């Protein structure tokens, strides 16, 4: 397998060349271009019974698995939002990934959508944290650029900006500041990370873009 | 205070490194991350203004499109880091005020040092359909100030005169005289011309503009989104 990330950090895309039998698992919708000989299979992470849970905004994802039927087959991937891409070689530490930031991985990387902290980070926006474990290549994406912080001690970050973090870090999601800041600072939910490890955040928050666009929607006329 | 701006020109992030007990003031909601020992204080006005002075400052800022409250970040006990980012994709620039004044489009303000005094100022030119007009933040004093743009930032040295669509204005030096009016002058060109308010600058000074206009982008998106109930 060979890969290259192009157009960083503004419109990053992933370009992979596979040898016979090699596989890549991607989030659905990521495919931009491919050799037609690649075999593609779609799976509902969590199985068919989880389909009911999905209606409650539960932790499910549709993942596509591509298998190369010959040498040198190409798969080009692009995420939904304009922004950056990061490659991580997964090894001794598990990585928690914001669900919207998962792009692709090798099948040797396992995704857990149901670990205990999965739903504690976001105030019901349909986002959750995935736990990636095992070893192999992992690619994550962002809205905006990806900034890496090496935490030694404690560090606070606005949850809408979280992309990923190493599981050596413990976390505590809360409102920022004291009582007055609770209501007026406009900062919302933050996550306090403690311990030692790497964390990655994105420099733009898609929820802010949605909040900006909302007042521009035309109002339904009363009938 | 050290300010580093990374990931421009599209996704700029301002990384502020505060010395022990130093403060930075920002627009509410702009903070992305910070060291845990950095304390946030939300206040309406400056520390020495008192309750009524603080209330008036807060109200004026609300009129300017900024939030009523300002956030003061203080690195308590040791040096600390705070990072800021705006809503829009685009660039950021920092400017050092030296007992000088900069007028900033209210939505473009990111953060400033405590030596910079912030006051709202009405830019004039209420639109035919009502609405915001053109609102400015007057930043005077000494110290660093960071502003953001929707899109790229272009710095224009004016010596004479120059006309700009108000939606593209990021900031300009007070040495410039400005006048806001409808583009084209008449009602026909205002309604059908596709342009809104323009600002005529005269004199000598620096003007910073952004290469995208938020209201136009909002209308562009809004027209393609489903209708809302209210």
Angle at which helix B214-222 crosses helix A206-213, to 10 degrees, equals 80
CA–CA dist A27, B210 (Å, integer): 35
Say whether A144 and B228 touch across the interface (CB within 8 A): no
Please, is A141 exposed, middle or buried when counting C-beta atoms within 10 Å of its C-beta (0-12, 13-18, 19+)?
A: buried
Domain-by-domain residue ranges, chain B?
2-222
- Whole-number pLDDT of residue B124: 53
Q: What is the token pair recorded at A51?
A: 């389909």
Q: Which of A40-49, A126-135, B161-170, B206-215 has the lowest mean pLDDT?
A: A40-49
pLDDT at A181 over 50: no
Share of chain B above pLDDT 70, in %: 77
Q: Is B221 at the interface with chain A, CB within 8 A?
A: yes
CA–CA dist B210, A49 (Å, integer): 50
- Whole-number pLDDT of residue B53: 55
**Stretch (H or E) spanning B58:** helix B50-63
Q: Is B51 at the interface with chain A, CB within 8 A?
A: no
DSSP of A81-137, one letter per residue? SSB-EEEEEE-SS-EEEEGGGEEEE-TTEEEES-STTTTSSSSSSS--EEEEEESEE
Say whether A177 and B40 touch across the interface (CB within 8 A): yes
- Whole-number pLDDT of residue B56: 61
Please, is A97 exposed, middle or buried when counting C-beta atoms within 10 Å of its C-beta (0-12, 13-18, 19+)?
A: buried
pLDDT digits over B100-133, tens only? 999 998 889 999 999 998 887 665 544 333 344 5
Q: Which residue has the tokens 């050596």?
A: A168
Mean pLDDT in residue range A34-56: 68
Give the pLDDT band (50/70/90) at residue B162: very high
| Nearest alpha carbon to residue A139 among A12, A10, A23 | A12
Give the pLDDT band (50/70/90) at residue A120: confident
DSSP of B66-115, one letter per residue? S-SSEEEEEE-SS-EEEEE--SSSB-EEEEEEEEEEEEEEGGGEEEEETT
CATH 3.60.160.10 fits B2-222, yes or no: yes
Q: Which of B104-113, B165-174, B181-190 has the lowest mean pLDDT?
A: B181-190
Q: Which of B5, B17, B33 to mutate to test the interface with A (most CBs of A within 10 A)?
A: B33
pLDDT at A48 over 90: no
- Whole-number pLDDT of residue B131: 40
Say whether A217 and B28 touch across the interface (CB within 8 A): no
Q: What is the token pair recorded at B127?
A: 């639109």
pLDDT digits over B217-230, tens only? 988 888 888 888 87
| Nearest alpha carbon to residue A39 among A64, A60, A7 | A64
Mean pLDDT in residue range A199-222: 90
| Nearest alpha carbon to residue A86 among A75, A94, A97 | A97
The alpha carbon dihedral of B113, B119, B122, B123 has a sign of negative
Q: Tell me the average pLDDT of chain A.
A: 86
pLDDT at B48 over 60: no
The neighbour count for residue B51, using CB atoms within 10 Å, is 9
Give the pLDDT band (50/70/90) at residue B71: confident
Say whether B34 and A156 touch across the interface (CB within 8 A): yes
pLDDT digits over A122-174, tens only? 765 667 889 999 999 999 999 999 999 999 999 999 999 999 999 999 999 88
Give the pLDDT band (50/70/90) at residue B187: low
CA–CA dist A147, B137 (Å, integer): 30
A168, A174 contact by CB (below 8 A): no
Say whether B13 and A177 touch across the interface (CB within 8 A): no
- Whole-number pLDDT of residue A58: 46
Contacts of B226 in chain A (CB under 8 A): 217
The alpha carbon dihedral of A204, A207, A211, A214 has a sign of positive
Q: What are phi and psi of A214, to 5 degrees?
A: -55, -50
- Whole-number pLDDT of residue A125: 61
- Whole-number pLDDT of residue B63: 57
Domain-by-domain residue ranges, chain A?
2-215
Class of domain A2-215: alpha beta
Contacts of B83 in chain A (CB under 8 A): 147
pLDDT at A50 over 60: no
Q: Which residue numbers of A have CB closer than 8 Å to B's CBs?
A: 9-10, 82-84, 144-145, 147, 149, 153-158, 161, 176-177, 180-181, 184-188, 192, 194, 201-205, 208-209, 211-220
Tell me the HSE value of A121 on the side-chain side, using a 13 A CA sphere: 30
| Nearest alpha carbon to residue A79 among A177, A128, A11, A126 | A11
- Whole-number pLDDT of residue B92: 97
| Nearest alpha carbon to residue B87 among A222, A108, A203, A167 | A203
Say whether B87 and A184 touch across the interface (CB within 8 A): no
pLDDT at B199 over 60: yes
- In order of B100, B122, B157, B171, the CA distances from B201 in angstroms are 18, 16, 11, 12
Contacts of A218 in chain B (CB under 8 A): 222-223, 227-228
User: Cα torsion for A41, A42, A44, A46, to the nearest 10°?
Assistant: 20
Q: Is B10 at the interface with chain A, CB within 8 A?
A: yes
């Amino acid at each position: 397998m060979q890969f290259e990330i192009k157009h960083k950090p503004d419109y990053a895309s992933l370009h992979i060349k596979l040898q016979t039998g090699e596989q890549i698992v991607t989030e659905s919708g990521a495919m931009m271009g491919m050799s037609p000989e690649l075999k593609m299979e779609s799976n509902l992470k969590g199985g068919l019974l989880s389909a009911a849970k999905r209606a409650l905004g539960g932790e499910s994802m549709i993942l596509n698995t591509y298998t190369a039927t010959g040498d040198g087959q190409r798969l080009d991937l692009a995420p939904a939002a304009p922004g950056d891409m990061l490659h991580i070689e997964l090894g001794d530490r598990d990585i928690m990934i914001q669900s919207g930031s998962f792009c692709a991985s090798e099948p040797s990387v396992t995704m857990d959508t149901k670990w205990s902290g999965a739903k504690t980070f976001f105030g019901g926006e349909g986002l959750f944290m995935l736990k990636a474990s095992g070893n192999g290549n992992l690619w994550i994406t962002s809205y905006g650029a990806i900034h890496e912080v090496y935490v030694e001690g404690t560090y606070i970050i606005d949850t809408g900006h979280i992309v990923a973090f190493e599981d050596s870090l413990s976390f505590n999601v809360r409102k920022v500041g004291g009582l007055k800041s609770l209501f007026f600072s406009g900062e919302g939910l933050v996550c306090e990370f403690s311990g030692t490890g790497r964390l990655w955040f994105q420099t733009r928050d898609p929820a802010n873009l949605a909040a900006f666009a909302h007042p521009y929607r035309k109002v339904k006329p009363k009938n | 205070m050290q300010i580093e701006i990374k990931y421009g020109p599209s996704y700029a992030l301002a990384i502020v490194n505060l010395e022990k007990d130093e403060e930075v003031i920002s627009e509410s909601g702009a903070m992305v991350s910070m060291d845990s020992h950095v304390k946030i204080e939300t206040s309406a006005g400056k520390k020495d203004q008192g309750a009524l002075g603080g209330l008036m400052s807060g109200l004026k800022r609300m009129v300017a499109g900024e939030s009523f409250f300002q956030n003061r970040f203080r690195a308590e006990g040791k040096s600390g880091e705070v990072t800021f980012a705006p809503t829009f994709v685009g660039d950021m620039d920092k400017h050092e005020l030296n007992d000088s004044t900069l007028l900033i489009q209210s939505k473009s303000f990111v953060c400033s040092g405590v030596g910079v005094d912030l006051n709202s100022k009405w830019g004039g030119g209420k639109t035919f359909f009502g609405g915001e007009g053109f609102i400015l933040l007057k930043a005077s004093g000494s110290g660093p100030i960071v502003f953001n743009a929707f899109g790229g930032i272009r710095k224009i040295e004016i010596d004479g005169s120059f006309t700009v669509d108000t939606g593209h204005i990021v900031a300009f030096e007070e040495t410039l005289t400005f006048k806001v009016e409808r583009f084209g002058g008449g009602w026909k060109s205002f309604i059908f011309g596709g342009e809104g308010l323009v600002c005529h600058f005269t004199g000598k000074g620096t003007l910073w503009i952004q290469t995208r206009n938020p209201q136009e982008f909002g209308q562009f998106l809004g027209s393609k989104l489903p209708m809302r109930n209210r």
